[in-house]
Amino acid sequence: MEIIRKKHSAKFKADVALEALKGDKTINEIGANFKVHQDQLSQWKKRPLEGIPGVFGSKQGQEGPSEILYPG
């Protein structure tokens, strides 16, 4: 028997992960609502948390305040 894996879009994963990060519902409740296994949901929840330091540590693409407020 062949196992068919579901492929979820990045937006779907982000929506589910954000719902989990809010903490309003349990992982089991969210998993049941979105029809996602709790283990998968836990993995998706960890990914944004692991990437947060990179958001604040990167200097690429950032402009100084004077360049934003007073375009030349």
* pLDDT tens digits, 9-24: 999 999 999 999 999 9
Q: Residue 24 has what DSSP assignment? A: S
Q: Which residues of 24-33 are buried (b: 16+ CB within 10 A; e: fewer)?
A: eeeeeebbee
- Taking alpha carbons only, the member of 23, 30, 12 closest to residue 49 is 23
pLDDT per position as a tens digit, 10-67: 999 999 999 999 999 999 999 999 999 999 999 999 998 888 888 888 565 555 554 5
pLDDT value of position 26: 93
Alpha-carbon dihedral sign for residues 20, 26, 28, 30: negative
Angle (nearest 5°) at CA 66 between 61 and 68: 50
